[in-house]
Amino acid sequence: MGQTMAEKILARAAGKEHLSPGDLISARIDMALGNDITAPVAIREFRKIGIDKVFDRERIALIPDHFTPNKDIQSAEQVGEMRRFAHEQGIVHFYEIGRMGIEHALLPELGLALPGEVIIGADSHTCTYGALGAFATGVGSTDLAAVMATGELWFKVPPTIRLIFEGRPSPWIGGKDLILFAIGRLGVDGARYAALEFSGPVIDGLPMDGRLTISNMAIEAGAKAGLIAPDKITEKYLQGRARRPYEVVLGDADAAVLEEHVWDVSNLEPQVALPSSPANARPVSEVAGTRLDQVVIGSCTNGRIDDLRMAARLLKGKKVHPHVRLIIIPATQAIYLQALKEGLLETFANAEAAVSTPTCGPCLGGHMGILASGEVALATTNRNFVGRMGHTESRVYLAGPAVAAASAVAGHICSPQEIKEVD
């Protein structure tokens, strides 16, 4: 019996020949990540262990991104604690504002997340790197502390659920629509403890930015990881980018899986997840007309260059609706610069959108666009739980950048088809 991609990657990292779901293992970690919320707790726990040095200063990334640029004194103290630790330990991958980006956009961009690797992060969206064929999963701060000390972590080997996307989707369909649709079908705990594996002709044709969006939200179905088999698109993305040698690990065709779902997405409409669950996915036409106060385009889910290009395409020559505030947040400094070079930022400014330096910001209700009681937002982010972007009586709809940009212009939720593009 063959093994899945997740089983094979974990087996390699655990020095085992063969693994099955449920096996408890200790795996070697190729990269460990913390942010300004989770790293301070990890640093304090690390110090309790009583060793002087981290296991490998090149395999730890510390990225202040959630409340940065520091929103208040306490946030500044948290980043200060990270900075002191990074300097003391000689952490190679510590990036501050002006050089940084949202962690899950930054690590792939820097070539620090690679096929066949095992990556952990004290952030639930660490599963993003599954798009590159890595076994990447979110853990807690204490887990990160243990990895910083030993370079290893315990795992229960997850079963795999295969999601196969077939058909020829409409040009407005992006990674976000596919993953919202999938979470809608699976439910918020439909993949609890399992590894999702995304495949099929639609995934084969999807550019890397869209793949990263899909793997990013695997956690919203409760999954431990969200893997996509590396192919030519992966190889091209990693060319001149990969910072370490790597070895592609593919699953066996005869591997046993827990479930397999085959979906034809030829007639799929752009998807919108209604408040207050990412699993409340509906076709955009069902919620069209919902009045909006704010639209956010950004985050580790949809703040990449393809997302900004899509938004600019619909915003060009238009104005954001008078009662809507549109906030656009390129996910990394490099994406910001690329958007500047391509004239996208000018398009956004002319459309009367606000453009921010990279930050997680409003996605988790941190800063840069908090909602008041009764306000309604549509965001390209990943969660719309009660109070996620501000007041507990505000509401958040989730969608991809096409629906977000179109809705910002219309002033209410609408399909991108309804916006006439200007050349």
How many CB atoms are located within 10 Å of the residue 188 CB? 17
How many CB atoms are located within 10 Å of the residue 213 CB? 31
Which residue reads 């992966």 in tokens? 234
Please say which residue, 67 or 85, places its beta carbon nearer to other proteins: 67
Using CB under 8 A as the binding rule, the residues of this chain from 214 to 273 that contact other proteins are: 222, 224
Q: Is 116 among the residues that bind other proteins (CB under 8 A)? A: no
Q: Is 193 among the residues that bind other proteins (CB under 8 A)? A: yes
Q: What order do you get walking across the sheet with 93-94 strand by strand?
A: 93-94, 60-63, 31-35, 118-121, 135-138
Q: Is 1 among the residues that bind other proteins (CB under 8 A)? A: no
Q: Please, are residues 289 and 412 in contact by the beta-carbon 8 Å criterion?
A: yes
Please say which residue, 145 or 206, places its beta carbon nearer to other proteins: 145
Please say which residue, 154 or 340, places its beta carbon nearer to other proteins: 154
> Cα 37 vs. chain centroid, distance in angstroms?
17
Q: Is 17 among the residues that bind other proteins (CB under 8 A)? A: no
Q: Please, are residues 262 and 201 in contact by the beta-carbon 8 Å criterion?
A: no
Which residue reads 């085992």 in tokens? 16
For the chain, what's the residue count?
423
Query: CA-CA distances (angstroms) from residue 309 to 173, 175, 206, 241?
Result: 14, 14, 15, 22
Per-residue tokens: 283: 């076709």
| Min CB(348)–other proteins separation in Å | 26
Per-residue tokens: 286: 């069902």
Query: CA-CA distances (angstroms) from residue 235 to 11, 40, 131, 231, 283?
Result: 23, 35, 12, 6, 34
| Min CB(386)–other proteins separation in Å | 6
Helices (H) and strands (E) in the chain, counts: 15, 18
| Min CB(116)–other proteins separation in Å | 16
Q: Which of 80, 111, 151, 283 binds other proteins (CB under 8 A)?
A: 151
Q: Which of 1, 50, 171, 373 binds other proteins (CB under 8 A)?
A: 50
Q: Is 45 among the residues that bind other proteins (CB under 8 A)? A: yes
Please say which residue, 81 or 342, places its beta carbon nearer to other proteins: 81
Q: Which of 317, 386, 418, 422 binds other proteins (CB under 8 A)?
A: 386
- The piece of 1-9, 65-73, 161-169, 205-213 that touches other proteins (CB under 8 A) is 65-73
- Strand bridging mode 259-264 / 294-297: unpaired
Q: Is 201 among the residues that bind other proteins (CB under 8 A)? A: no
Q: Which of 21, 69, 133, 138 binds other proteins (CB under 8 A)?
A: 138
Q: Is 141 among the residues that bind other proteins (CB under 8 A)? A: yes
Q: Is 71 among the residues that bind other proteins (CB under 8 A)? A: yes
User: CA 149, CA 135: separation in Å to the nearest integer?
Assistant: 20
| Min CB(177)–other proteins separation in Å | 22
Residues that bind other proteins (CB under 8 A): 14-16, 24-26, 37-38, 40-41, 44-45, 48-53, 55-56, 66-67, 71-72, 74-75, 78, 121-124, 126, 138-143, 145-146, 149-154, 156, 188-189, 192-193, 222, 224, 277, 364-366, 383, 385-388, 392
